[in-house]
Amino acid sequence: MLCRTALRVSGTSVSAAAPGVARRAPSIGVVCSAQRLQRARSSPRWARSYATDHAHHEARIENIRNIGIIAHVDAGKTTTTERMLYCSGRTRHLGNVDHGNTTTDFLPMERERGITIQSAAVTFQWPPPQLCPPGHQPTTINLIDTPGHQDFRYEVDRCLPILDGAVCILDAVKGVETHTERVWESAHLSRIPRLLFVNKLDRDGASFRRSVLDAAARLRTWPLLCQIPWWHGDDFVGVIDVIHQHGLRFSSSNGTMSVVSKQSIERDVPALAAEMETARLRLIEALSEQDDQLMDEFLEHEQDVPAASIKRAIRGLVSDGAARFTPVFAGASLRNVGVQPLLDAVVDYLPSPADRPPLGLVGGSAATLPALLGTGRKGHPPIVTLGHVFKVVDDPHRGMLSWVRVYHGAVTRSSHLWNSNVHVFEKPQQLLHVSAKDHHEIQHLSTGHIGAVSGLKSARTGDTLLSFPGHHSSAPEAFRDVRINTLETPPAVAFIAIDPYTRTARDKLEDALRRLTREDPSIRWSADEKTDQLILSGMGLLHLEIARDRLLTHYKIDPDSALWGDIQVEYSECVLAPSGPHHAVFERTIRDKAGKAACTASVEPYEPLGPADAKLPAPVERDGNAIHVTIQAHDGRLPSFDADLIRQQLVNGAIAALARGPRRSTPVRGCRVHITMDPATDFFGASSTGGHITNAAIMAVRAALAEVHAAGSVGLLEPFARVLIGCPEEAGPAIQHDIAAARGGHILEVRKPEDDEFVPGDDGTAADGRPEPVDVSGVYTPPDPYESVTSLRDGNRRGIVRMLRIVAQAPLREMLKYDTQLRSMTGGRHTLQLDPGGFELVTGPREKALERW
């Protein structure tokens, strides 16, 4: 067993490495002093090691941790990331969000606003290579710092599936906040193993006890307290390592850490020593109920169970990603308190890529990656490489960079990569190791690693890349559709109209929009045929403000070259009755090539399919619509053309037609489309190009929609938001009245913090599909230093205002700028989260008002 923070401990406190500490075997007994670290840091070799001596991409798979930092906005994600980089020696200065000099928030708008807008990847090693004893290799940590604002939730969701672990950060003053619950649920869906880090314990009003109970009740996980806070009076001075039974005290001036032995704590702070004993006992008891081997050791040794056995049991409970149990750590990142032991925990408890469950696949005969590899001949797997594009970035110097996580094999510059989502082969130009805005060219990306690939012309976020043995001009039929299952891009809920003044300005803007939407698939754009405007759609007010800023600053769009409208809510249309079949023939010249194609289409309201519909082809689901494509066979045989390609072209035409409805030129949702092509009458050989087939589908679907509109059977859908508000108790009645009476919404739930405590029911299970609730009455938490005899519920906590949680459903249009209204009602002491609440049919007076608007 290796121990980094617990070095040689005597009866007095021992100085340890300030931002980094050595990893050693118990027999080595080396004390890494702060002076030794400082000498190493000042050496030029310290900086060079990350580029040359210790190439991160060469790390063995068992020595890799791909982790993410997730939390509510302002919980301290970026600050914690900066401290990790400094502790590891990756940076020489401590970046500060307020000073705008952080490593991961490098975009100008991120530094200006002090928030994370896009996820950023950084790589470092822990412990630092220079401080590792001979024979011990450091762990390579690929860390992704994710946004915390709800408008960028898709940015978080698309990064989570490629992670092998995550650190969830809680603000000790605010506890579990609304967006924390959401990202926790997203991590749960991807079965990501997690750690909890209670941050900002040095702030007035911070409560470790409340944060732990909040986590148990609202995140539905049993907290395993690996650390408890060390308070000196009301001051937070360090943490107590419950497992190793010693203290870690941090200097208030520079964050220097000293290790304090159990004997010193018992002599100088007996009450703290007693709490440490209690915490360790409760931890062992909780683990023993789940681990028979630890139970046997507990019965034999009682409280003197070896630390190695406790850590083994914790790792076993965390690795499945179900988060029924979650290790909890304490600290204050801004003061660099508790970050080093948190890094130790990442190495000790979060799994390597080799320890994760089999990767799930769709589009082929095998459901998992091991099953797919097993379909080849012995020693000859059917694929050489499998990777996932989880992000695309337009780099000003290298063009489009595709961030790739490799799950099998290795990507090299000579790889012939098949993109199974768009059915094209692509060849990489450069392979890059990415650390925030810095890039270093490497020779290959092997299994378990994360890096960037340049030169992929068609790759988009969510695409799957494969390579096959030998040289192929086309992908083998059995594997051409194999894909990693990804999240569907959520529908846009807000838009901004852009009216370019000149044709040149329009062409430049369209090119920038194409590149922007390839970077961020949750941004959509289209051209309004009636007004000739360009419509940019996104996930909310802030999301579109950032998109507009990126167009102006990164893509160099002149703000005076177009008229920019106000950000507005995007309404939708729906069909309320079925149409008849409409046959359309498209016969025009496209790009100087004459051609002809035809098809038949009908539309109907989206309803669940019944037994009579069992023979329908599987639909393509997109933006709440279902598209069924049938290519008729003659004499039981399909035509000789590529049927899969024709189907995709017909689907593309249907999607384009549904993008603009007949009533208000807004997207159509909740529609089931049936498209039929009869090769005998609708396909005309080489003259039926992809463009002609797509346009035939557009014409047929639009004709069906026009019929329904002429009959008055096209309704309007208004986007609603699920509103979660945290506010002082005294402001609650006014906010509830405002939402219900003035905003057209309705209140779903009002909760006080103590209402989150779980009272066991008859069976103790949850009915909403979430993990089982936790009976918080059995959760151990140490008392906060300012707790008196009164209960934590009584509100007698320093600087804490009694808060309410209001859950409501309201029209998104009324909520877009509601934060300003809340600020005046709460004095700025509030939180607001808007999550997609779906679309609701608009009727009555509100429908007439929308028609006038």
Q: Looking at the structure, do residues 146 and 230 belong to the same domain, yes or no?
A: yes
Domain count, the chain: 5
Is 757 a domain residue? yes
pLDDT of residue 329 exceeding 50: yes
Name the residue with higher pLDDT: 341 or 494: 341
Highest mean pLDDT among 151-160, 260-269, 475-484: 260-269
Is 35 a domain residue? yes
pLDDT of residue 792 exceeding 90: no
Q: Looking at the structure, do residues 551 and 583 belong to the same domain, yes or no?
A: no
Cis peptide bond upstream of 127, omega within 30: yes
Which residue segment(s) compose the domain that 533 sits in? Answer: 494-569
Q: Looking at the structure, do residues 607 and 751 belong to the same domain, yes or no?
A: no
Name the residue with higher pLDDT: 49 or 517: 517
Is 4 a domain residue? no
Q: Looking at the structure, do residues 508 and 593 belong to the same domain, yes or no?
A: no
- One-letter-per-residue 3-state SS of 500-538: ECCHHHHHHHHHHHHHHHHHCCCCEEEECCCCCCEEEEE
Confidence of residue 83 (pLDDT cuts 50, 70, 90): confident
pLDDT of residue 308: 94
Of 71-80, 278-287, 351-360, 587-596, least confident by mean pLDDT is 71-80
Q: Looking at the structure, do residues 565 and 584 belong to the same domain, yes or no?
A: no
pLDDT of residue 753 exceeding 60: no
Mean pLDDT computed over 195-203: 95
pLDDT of residue 253 exceeding 80: no
Taking the model in full, what pTM does it have? 0.73
Confidence of residue 546 (pLDDT cuts 50, 70, 90): confident
pLDDT of residue 134: 80
Q: Looking at the structure, do residues 724 and 606 belong to the same domain, yes or no?
A: no
Q: Looking at the structure, do residues 29 and 55 belong to the same domain, yes or no?
A: yes
Element (H, E) at 776: none
Q: Looking at the structure, do residues 317 and 265 belong to the same domain, yes or no?
A: yes
Which residues of 275-426 form beta strands (DSSP E)?
A: 325-330, 361-362, 385-395, 399-408, 410-412, 417-419, 424-426
Mean pLDDT computed over 724-738: 89
Mean residue pLDDT of the chain comes to 81
% of the chain with per-residue pLDDT over 90: 36
pLDDT of residue 853: 55
Q: Residue 843 sits in a domain of what CATH number?
A: 3.30.70.240
Q: Looking at the structure, do residues 202 and 68 belong to the same domain, yes or no?
A: yes
Among 307, 325, 355, the domain boundary falls at: 355
Q: Residue 600 sits in a domain of what CATH number?
A: 3.30.230.10
Is 117 a domain residue? yes
Question: Burial, 73: exposed, middle or buried (Cβ in 10 Å; 0-12, 13-18, 19+)?
Answer: buried
Of 106-120, 292-306, 775-789, 820-834, least confident by mean pLDDT is 106-120
pLDDT of residue 413 exceeding 60: yes
Confidence of residue 109 (pLDDT cuts 50, 70, 90): low
SS3 at position 59: coil
Is 28 a domain residue? yes
Among 335, 355, 375, the domain boundary falls at: 355
Is 365 a domain residue? yes
Confidence of residue 159 (pLDDT cuts 50, 70, 90): confident
pLDDT of residue 754 exceeding 60: no
Is 1 a domain residue? no
SS3 at position 591: coil
pLDDT of residue 50: 43
Q: Looking at the structure, do residues 258 and 278 belong to the same domain, yes or no?
A: yes
**Could you tell me if 472 and 385 are in contact, meaning their C-beta atoms sit under 8 angstroms apart?**
no
Highest mean pLDDT among 7-11, 117-121, 228-232, 543-547: 228-232
Of 295-304, 645-654, 780-789, least confident by mean pLDDT is 780-789
Mean pLDDT computed over 601-630: 87
Q: Looking at the structure, do residues 431 and 529 belong to the same domain, yes or no?
A: no
Is 609 a domain residue? yes
Rounded Cα distance between 147 and 154, Å, is: 10
Q: Looking at the structure, do residues 98 and 141 belong to the same domain, yes or no?
A: yes
140 forms beta bridges with 64, 125
Among 569, 586, 616, the domain boundary falls at: 569
Confidence of residue 567 (pLDDT cuts 50, 70, 90): confident
Write the DSSP string, 215-233: HHHHS--EEEESEEEEEET
pLDDT of residue 168 exceeding 80: yes
Q: Residue 191 sits in a domain of what CATH number?
A: 3.40.50.300
Which pLDDT tens digit goes with each residue over 423-436?
899 999 999 887 65
Q: Residue 537 sits in a domain of what CATH number?
A: 3.30.70.870
